[in-house]
Amino acid sequence: MRNHRDDAREHAWAYGLSLCVLLAMLSPVLRCEPVDGFPLTTYPMYSGAMGTTSRVRTLLGITASGEQELLSPALIAGDPSVILAVRTTTGASSPERRRALCTTVAGRVAADPDLRDRYVEVLFLTERYDAEAYFLGADMPEAIKIHARCPVPR
């Protein structure tokens, strides 16, 4: 049989938990500097302002005849997730890290029986595009900056 104490306890739990959950979810934005985290987040996806210049860091495989070919996210980041590939390339912010990433990717290419004989070198570069013009047919980069070149180990 329910009594006043049970009702009071249930009231307290209902409002206590509700308030805790609400405050927890709002906490990322209540800080002086909003913090994106997990599972508490500010949900900042696609919220920023961005111009039409698009800079993309990527790694390309170079064939013996000098052709440049795209490599997969799995080769770049060790995982098929393209977002991890993005984070991996943007995280390589120093010359040493870029060289290291280039070498790591070249190692993954060498370990792939379908690719080791196809590519002789891996190139780590930043390409600059006009994002507006790209989808109107201007899909060649406006500028290229090469960060590292690594031979594919034999």
Partner 1 sequence: MPGTSLAAPSLLRSVDAWWRAPAPARRLAWVRVAVGLYTTLLVLGHAPALVRRSGFDPSRFAPVGLLTPMGAPPSPLALTITAAIALLGGLAFTLGWRYRHLAPIYALALLALTSYLNSWGHLAHAQNLAVMQALVLSLVPAADALSLDRRAGRTREGDGARYGWPLRLLMLTVIVSYGLAGLAKLTNGGWAWAKGDAIRNLVAHDAIRKVRLGAPISPLTGPLLRQPWIFSLFAAGTLVIELGAAIAMRPGKLRRAWILSAWGMHLGILATMGIAFWYPLSGVAFLSFVATERLFDPLLPSARRS
> Applying CB under 8 A, which residues contact partner 1?
2, 10-11, 14-15, 17-18, 21-22, 25-26, 28-29, 34, 36-52, 54, 56, 58, 70-73, 75-76, 78-79, 81-89, 91, 127, 129, 131-132, 134-136
Between residues 14 and 146, which has the closer beta carbon with respect to partner 1?
14
Least distance from C-beta 90 to partner 1, angstroms? 9
With residue 151 as reference, give the H or E element that holds it: strand 143-151
Contacts of 70 (CB under 8 A, 6+ apart): 58, 60, 61
Q: Tokens 């405050």 identify what position?
A: 23
Least distance from C-beta 113 to partner 1, angstroms? 18
Least distance from C-beta 79 to partner 1, angstroms? 5
Least distance from C-beta 154 to partner 1, angstroms? 23
Between residues 18 and 63, which has the closer beta carbon with respect to partner 1?
18
Distance CA 85, CA 66 (A): 24
Question: Cis before residue 39, ω within 30 degrees of 0?
Answer: yes
Give, in degrees to the nearest 5, the angle at Cα 53 between 52 and 59: 135
Between residues 69 and 154, which has the closer beta carbon with respect to partner 1?
69
